């Protein structure tokens, strides 16, 4: 989802019914701490 939408948490939320924007953002923050290189790669190499 990050490769497709970047950090547009509202658009990402639509892919996960039952999740709030806040929950999606918390997951992003958690992944940012645990896997910073993979997250950076997903954002840099976004699909168009």
Between helix 36-44 and helix 21-34 the angle, nearest 10°, is: 120
The runs of H, that is alpha helices, within the chain are: 2-5, 9-15, 21-34, 36-44
- pTM across the whole model: 0.82
The string of pLDDT tens digits covering residues 13-43 is: 999 999 999 999 999 999 999 999 999 999 9
Residue indicated by tokens 């990402």:
12
Q: CB neighbours of 13 closer than 8 A, spacing ≥ 6?
A: 19, 20, 21, 23, 24
Q: What is the pLDDT of residue 46?
A: 82
What are the φ and ψ backbone dihedral angles of 4, each rounded to 5 degrees?
Answer: -85, -45
pLDDT at 48 over 80: no
């Amino acid at each position: 989802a990050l490769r497709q939408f970047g950090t547009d948490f509202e658009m990402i939320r639509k892919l996960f019914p039952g999740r709030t924007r806040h929950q999606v953002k918390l997951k992003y923050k958690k992944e940012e701490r645990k896997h910073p290189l993979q997250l950076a790669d997903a954002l840099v190499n976004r699909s168009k």
